[in-house]
Amino acid sequence: MTLDEYLSSPGAFTVTQLRIRMAALGYRIKSNAQLRQWRHAYGNRAPSPENCVGLELATDGAISRKDQRPHDWWLLWPELDGAAIERAKSSDDTQPPVGDAAGEGE
């Protein structure tokens, strides 16, 4: 859910309530205008990675980091891409250690 979808949904926080909630969680938002700019992507503005986490926490997950940063979320939070983690775990491209435990071969 995007910020705009969230703020337009019944029972959602208002912009002011969301800003206050984020501040209570330690995420400082300059003003309501900043949230409105993110809401409408004014001037291609998007929340910083840190504020994406704040939005996710403040809305109890209703707004996800993935939804706020659809073009780069996997670079910022690779742990959210479970498939990538499984691919890395199952990769057979690991290299054996160089040398041996006795220090021979150096």
41-63 residue pLDDT tens: 888 888 999 999 999 999 999 99
Q: Token match 């859910």: residue?
A: 1
Residue 105 carries which DSSP code?
Answer: T
How many whole angstroms separate alpha carbon 83 and alpha carbon 78? 10
**Do you know the residue count of the chain?**
106
- Averaged pLDDT, 26-45: 92
64-91 residue pLDDT tens: 999 999 989 999 999 887 655 555 556 5
Position 81 scores a pLDDT of 79
Burial of 92 (0-12, 13-18, 19+ CB in 10 A): exposed
